[in-house]
Amino acid sequence: MIRTIADMLRALAERESALIEGARIRHAPTIGSMYERLTTQLLEYVLPEDADLSLVAGFAEDTTGKLSGQIDCMLVSGSGTPVPHTDLFKWPVKDVIAVFEVKKNLFSAGLAESHSQLLAVLHLHWDEVLRNPGGKIDIEPSLHAFKQIVGFPAPPREDLERLPFDIEMIYRFLTVEQVSPIRIAFGYSGYNSEFALRSGFVRFLKANMGAPGFSPSMLPTLIVAGNHSLLKLNGHPYSSPRKDDWWPIFASSNDNPLTLVLELIWDRMSHRMPMPDWYDTDLGMEVLSPLLDCRAIKRGKKMGWDYNITSISKAALAEPVARAEWQPHFVNLFQFTIMNALCQRDEIPLTDPLLQDLSVEESKDLNRLFELRLIGQEANKLVLLTRLCRCLITPDGRFAVADDSSGRFSAWTQGLLRERRQRKT
């Protein structure tokens, strides 16, 4: 359903953009205002009617009266203060859920300007949080993302410093991202290919390497230039497992950018309110190409981040890629036995008979469950890394396992049953 809605919004955006161009307005501020209003109208279509959410333009404001720069579009809750004789608002930064910097064309200058504007909102937000910490926050989404990235559960907060420094910083990054405003630079056109957008971003990053404001947590959540996007894999909801001490943090896509926008916003909304039954049950998977890995480093008293760039040729990026359909993991009997036991018991001690005298092949099979982030090790036991593990033997005898917390496994199972019924009729 998310993909269907995103495709409808994309068609609407293309139609309305053509109308804007057809008006032949050459006054830059007016052109900017038209695209900003179009962005607001597109987003208004996807907000639940009974949600305490609004879309406004204006300024984020902290409790001292300090303001951000003017923001093109903000997704907000609660109430704000109208700016006299304008359509703008001043809005408490603690109630700002997402901010959009809107550009007709997004190239290098627009990327730098958007980053600066979005970063100012982030700084305002965290100054306010440090001044007024507020109530307790449920960080379960971050704890789940942590497990999926590093492959084991996070320790109690008081034991975090016992983790290796780079892994501790992943934990802190994920919790920061969960409560920070989503920050999106949205260009209706710009870089003319996925390769060009990737190259422009890498040049921008290299030109500012070592400067304040360019750690992973300070970069935008999503950068859109026409039909191409750069997405931060911040665990909310997109993430990728850590490998060889490097954590994939940015990927590019030539998929519908509005699908990514909706996933980011609706994931954040799901932390605040019940979502419809169809939410996140689409089986289509976004096509993402790795771009940037990172790792936290500490040398003496200095701390920072290293980046590693994944180069992909222009020709490879331009190759058509069939969109993959979501499927559960298909495992063998030994792996299925382990997963079933964990579903029933939550944990398996390493001394359990199931884990004793394993053959070479069984040890490889067990390691594969670790790689898939289905299981992890905590102290001297195996534990599930899923929120809601499901195990199923399909009618054709395959062993399927997956996390069904999103409802995708249930949707896949229903599709399987429909196909079976259709074959019988």
In angstroms, how far is CA 68 from the centroid of its own chain? 24
Instruction: Judge if pTM exceeds 0.85.
Output: yes
pLDDT at 210 over 60: yes
> With contact defined as beta carbons under 8 Å apart, do 123 and 96 qualify?
no
Band (285; pLDDT cuts 50, 70, 90): low
What does the alpha-carbon distance between residue 390 and residue 183 come to, in Å, rounded to a whole number? Answer: 34
Q: Please give the C-alpha separations between residue 147 and each of 152, 181, 260, 386, in angstroms, as whole numbers.
A: 5, 23, 22, 8
DSSP at 192 = S
CA geometry: angle 396, 399, 404, nearest 5 deg: 115
> With contact defined as beta carbons under 8 Å apart, do 217 and 180 qualify?
yes
Helix H or strand E encompassing 229: strand 228-232
* Three-class SS state of 244: coil
Give the CATH number of domain 329-424: 1.10.10
pLDDT given at position 356: 92
- Say which amino acid occupies 295: R
Band (259; pLDDT cuts 50, 70, 90): confident
Least confident segment among 6-10, 217-221, 418-422: 6-10
> With contact defined as beta carbons under 8 Å apart, do 330 and 365 qualify?
no
Least confident segment among 88-97, 255-264, 338-347, 365-374: 255-264
pLDDT given at position 262: 86
Q: Please give the C-alpha separations between residue 341 and each of 33, 153, 295, 385, 389, in angstroms, as whole numbers.
A: 58, 19, 35, 14, 11
β-bridge mates for residue 406, sequence order? none
pLDDT given at position 41: 75
pLDDT given at position 23: 65
pLDDT at 278 over 60: no
What does the alpha-carbon distance between residue 193 and residue 318 come to, in Å, rounded to a whole number? Answer: 8
pLDDT given at position 105: 87
> With contact defined as beta carbons under 8 Å apart, do 293 and 310 qualify?
yes
**Better-scored residue on pLDDT, 5 or 420:** 420
Band (165; pLDDT cuts 50, 70, 90): very high
**335-345: per-residue pLDDT in tens?**
999 999 999 98
pLDDT given at position 330: 97
**14-24: per-residue pLDDT in tens?**
666 666 666 66
pLDDT given at position 418: 83
Query: Mean pLDDT over residues 162-169, rounded?
Result: 94
* 3-class SS string, 109-175: HHHHHHHHHHHHHHHHHHHHHHHCCCCCCCCHHHHHHHHHHHCCCCCCHHHHHHCCHHHHHHHHHHH
Band (416; pLDDT cuts 50, 70, 90): confident
pLDDT at 279 over 60: no
Q: Which two tokens stand for residue 200?
A: 């422009």
The segment(s) of the chain belonging to CATH 1.10.10 are 329-424
Residue linked to tokens 């057809």: 22
